[in-house]
Amino acid sequence: MSENSRVAIVTGGSSGIGREAAARLGRDGYAVVIGYAGNKDRAELAVKEVEADGGRAIAVQADVADENAVAALFDRAEQEFGGVDVIVNAAGIMPLAPLAELDLDVFDDIIRTNLRGTFVVDQQASRRVRNGGAIVNISSSLTRLARPGYSAYAASKGGVEAITLILARELRGRDITVNAVAPGPTATPLFLDGKPQELIDRIAAEPPLERLGQPSDIAEIIAFLAGPARWINGQVIYANGGSAA
């Protein structure tokens, strides 16, 4: 199947890493379905960004933790473009607090979106992605960096990594790769919002490359795993500029 006939669903595709991944896959020739939670205007801007580079895209609202909404997302992709070849699970939330202070309702929201959401999307993907496809989940280097305040978020992403490694083995015989990308600090609204500049500067200075990651850095890895990286399977790729684990 040529790249020009391949179809990608990107959850969380209206912002941050998801939006950059959608744009990159569009430039690579994929038809892109941009899944978004609630901000329709932002999702439509992401669609226009793909189309401006000559690609094809639509935006579809879906709560990633709702199995019926996710099934409808896949239905729409199949109706518009004929099938699904690549899934990028970029939807996520990141409320921060020390473990002792985190409201358990907030904890439940994190687990629902980040962990259950990945499970629900991967469940549909395992049933409906065409042979020769790829599933790319988004984890986080915080599963190794163990930064205070991130216990709930890192726990949810640890679960994402477990799902990734096991699903890769469960899809034996389908020629579908399943991998996770685990970014370090990346200059997205999810990371930057609510942080003082002094803290951002301190975190940016930690890796040997002495900067924050950019969404384009992560999108490049996603595009590699989605397309040419057919011999990488069941792996977690830590993309953090060399930050110490």
| Enzyme catalytic residues | 153
Roughly how many angstroms between the first and final C-alpha of the chain, as a whole number?
39
Q: How far apart are CA 48 and CA 59, in angstroms?
A: 10
Q: What is the DSSP letter of 4?
A: G
CA 223, 229, 232: angle at the middle one, nearest 5?
Answer: 120
Q: How far apart are CA 12 and CA 216, in angstroms?
A: 15
Only one residue has tokens 């899934």, namely: 87
E-assigned strand segments in the chain: 7-11, 31-36, 56-61, 84-89, 129-138, 177-183, 236-239
Are 136 and 225 in contact by the 8 Å Cβ rule? The answer is yes
Only one residue has tokens 């384009």, namely: 216
Are 108 and 155 in contact by the 8 Å Cβ rule? The answer is no
- Best CA proximity match to 13, nearest among 153, 31, 200: 31
